[in-house]
Amino acid sequence: MDWLLLAITLILLMAEWRWRLGALRIFIALAAGWFILASRDLGPATRRALETKDRVTTRWDMNLKPYVSGVLTMQREAEASMADMSQPVAVLIWLSVSPLLPPIGRRPLRSGQPDRA
């Protein structure tokens, strides 16, 4: 599923770069922003930490008490959840840089010439 989402994102970004579609640009930015806001919730990390069989039980060769073990397991799951934010952040960076790149297949306009696109 992640590969399908990545492929769709790349296709939309290439279409936005090629044809400079303002509505598509706004849609992509809103979708990336929504994904970032939804990913900041620790609910999924909490559920994964409660359901995991691989708990953090030792640290620095010391056995941990159950409370500390739970806290460190939750921290590990939260860090893994936050690592998923790299794709929408990359999309927002692309949207901020893409206006600086020339579009494919069109010559840049000289000053004083009308746009024939």
Instruction: Give residue 11's domain range.
Output: 1-39+87-100
Mark residue 41 as left, alpha or beta (left: phi above 0; alpha: psi -120 to 50; beta: remaining): beta
Task: Please report which confidence band the pLDDT of residue 74 belongs to, taking 50, 70 and 90 as the band edges.
Answer: confident
The verdict on 53 and 72 lying in the same domain is yes
Residue 27 lies inside a defined structural domain of this protein: yes
d(CA 85, CA 98): 20
Residue 17 lies inside a defined structural domain of this protein: yes
Residue 30 lies inside a defined structural domain of this protein: yes
The verdict on 28 and 1 lying in the same domain is yes
Listed in sequence order, the residues at least 6 apart from 45 whose beta carbon sits closer than 8 Å to its beta carbon are 74, 77, 78, 80, 81
The verdict on 79 and 46 lying in the same domain is yes
Residue 112 lies inside a defined structural domain of this protein: no
The verdict on 71 and 96 lying in the same domain is no
Residue 9 lies inside a defined structural domain of this protein: yes
Residue 113 lies inside a defined structural domain of this protein: no
Backbone angles phi, psi at 76, to 5 degrees: -65, -45
User: Count of domains in the chain?
Assistant: 2
- Model confidence over 25-42: pLDDT tens digits? 888 888 888 887 777 677
- Model confidence over 76-117: pLDDT tens digits? 888 877 777 777 888 888 888 888 877 666 555 566 666 555
- What per-residue confidence (pLDDT) applies to 100? 82
